[in-house]
Homo-oligomer: A and B are copies of this chain.
Amino acid sequence: MAKLVKLKTVIRKMELVDLYKLAGIHLGLATEAYAVLRGEAQQEVQGVTENKYRDEAADAVVTTVEILTEVAAKAINKARGTYITIESPALRQPPGPVHLALSRLLADTLKNVFAKIGLEAAAPVLVVGLGNWQATPDSLGPKVVGKMFVTRHLLQYAPGVLPAGTRPVAALAPGVLGITGIETAEIIAGVVSHLKPGLVIAIDSLAARNVTRLYSTIQIADSGIDPGSGIGNRRTALSRAEMGVPVLALGIPTVVPAAVIAMETLNSAGQRNRNLQGELGPPAIQAIISDLLAPFGGDLTVTPKEVDDLVTRTATLLAQGLNLALFPQLSPEDLAMLSA
């Protein structure tokens, strides 16, 4: 009997996955996409592993999800690869001592990924800030680019100023398709073929399913950027296959799609009311949501009121962690001076 209930829940959950697909909602976080797939029953999914540990100093939980097979990738609607999330409620608080620990945890995590990829100490790196700097929740990437310590031109035009072995780092915020008329991947591919970096790091704002994840989670993915995983309508992938070099994606959830809030409301109501489960099928749910969100539809997002502050703060932390990981020979104090 307990088994039956479980099965029913799983079926309902699978419908939720289908609904997400129907609504064209692409969750940015692998842990969330995986959780939706697993359901409350927490049943394991073949081809996916998940590990967690806690970092006390940073008040953070670090979760590593590996999507190992194509079948699992399809089910979970994310590319194969390793997805690391650093979750800490401190991320959305005003800067304090925990933030230093968080930027160090991020730097250490990135250094591990660099080692795994085989990135050499002086290999050039290109940081790409995806998104639209004029739309606050989509401006995370451009803001991080503005706070990076960029060295490529200094090493070229003012050699000797920086310590020997300093990594050449370039950074670019190419803008969004609606403004440029050019796919971001097209612009980056041109620059990559010219700069020949050892690694591309792409920063993006992500869409989350759960409000608690907003501005509290950093995801690092070695699979690059999925088309459509960000909050803007990115249509093409930014991945090793396309770029010819490894691509690391770094993102923070900045919005929950309004359609997800509506779906999760029904999901939650369904859990409290068994009758609802049978009667409100996907077509009815679709109809309710599209009525509710017209005339804006998928363009409606849920954000906290203090979004301007939250994006600025989290961009600063991402840039600090990146700078620490990319320039191990410089102290945090030097980097604060150089990239302020």
Interface residues of A (CB under 8 A from B): 89, 93-97, 133-136, 138, 145-146, 150-154, 157, 168-175, 177-183, 186-187, 189-191, 193-195, 211-212, 214, 231-232, 235, 258, 261-262, 264-266, 268-269, 272-273, 275-276, 279-280, 284, 288-289, 291-296, 299-308, 313, 333, 336-338, 340
* A145, B211: Cβ atoms closer than 8 Å: no
Tell me the minimal C-beta distance from A70 to chain B in angstroms. 27
* A272, B266: Cβ atoms closer than 8 Å: no
Partner of A284, one of B191, B272, B303: B272
Known: A138-B305, A171-B179. 13 other contacts (CB 8 A): A93-B337, A94-B336, A94-B337, A94-B340, A150-B178, A152-B182, A154-B181, A168-B181, A182-B195, A190-B190, A258-B261, A296-B304, A301-B302
A261 to B263, CA, bound (A): 10
A192 to B212, CA, bound (A): 42
Instruction: Specify which chain B residues have a CB less than 8 angstroms from the CB of A307 in the assembled complex.
Output: 135-136
* A95, B302: Cβ atoms closer than 8 Å: no
* A193, B195: Cβ atoms closer than 8 Å: no
Can you name the residue of chain B whose Cβ is closest to the Cβ of A153?
Answer: B181
Tell me the minimal C-beta distance from A323 to chain B in angstroms. 13
* A180, B189: Cβ atoms closer than 8 Å: no
Tell me the minimal C-beta distance from A139 to chain B in angstroms. 10
* A279, B273: Cβ atoms closer than 8 Å: yes
User: A275-B279, A295-B212, A340-B95 given as contacts; is B179 within 8 A of A146 (CB)?
Assistant: yes
Tell me the minimal C-beta distance from A227 to chain B in angstroms. 13
Instruction: Specify which chain B residues have a CB less than 8 angstroms from the CB of A145 in the assembled complex.
Output: 175, 179-180
User: A262-B265, A268-B288, A304-B300 given as contacts; is B150 within 8 A of A181 (CB)?
Assistant: yes
* B303, A288: Cβ atoms closer than 8 Å: no
Copies of the polypeptide in the assembly:
4
Instruction: Specify which chain B residues have a CB less than 8 angstroms from the CB of A279 in the assembled complex.
Output: 273, 275
3 pairs of A and B residues whose beta carbons are closest in the complex: A190-B190, A152-B181, A170-B181
A258 to B265, CA, bound (A): 11
* B96, A337: Cβ atoms closer than 8 Å: yes
A340 to B337, CA, bound (A): 18
The contact sample of 15 A-B pairs, CB cut-off 8 A, is A94-B338, A94-B340, A135-B305, A136-B307, A146-B179, A150-B180, A152-B182, A172-B175, A187-B187, A190-B190, A258-B261, A268-B292, A301-B303, A302-B302, A313-B340
Instruction: Specify which chain B residues have a CB less than 8 angstroms from the CB of A181 in the assembled complex.
Output: 150-154, 168-171
Can you name the residue of chain B whose Cβ is closest to the Cβ of A291?
Answer: B268
A190 to B262, CA, bound (A): 44
Can you name the residue of chain B whose Cβ is closest to the Cβ of A258?
Answer: B302
Can you name the residue of chain B whose Cβ is closest to the Cβ of A189?
Answer: B194
Tell me the minimal C-beta distance from A297 to chain B in angstroms. 9
* B269, A266: Cβ atoms closer than 8 Å: yes
* A182, B193: Cβ atoms closer than 8 Å: no
Partner of A211, one of B189, B190, B214, B300: B300
* A180, B186: Cβ atoms closer than 8 Å: no
A17 to B257, CA, bound (A): 26
Tell me the minimal C-beta distance from A289 to chain B in angstroms. 7
Instruction: Specify which chain B residues have a CB less than 8 angstroms from the CB of A97 in the assembled complex.
Output: 333
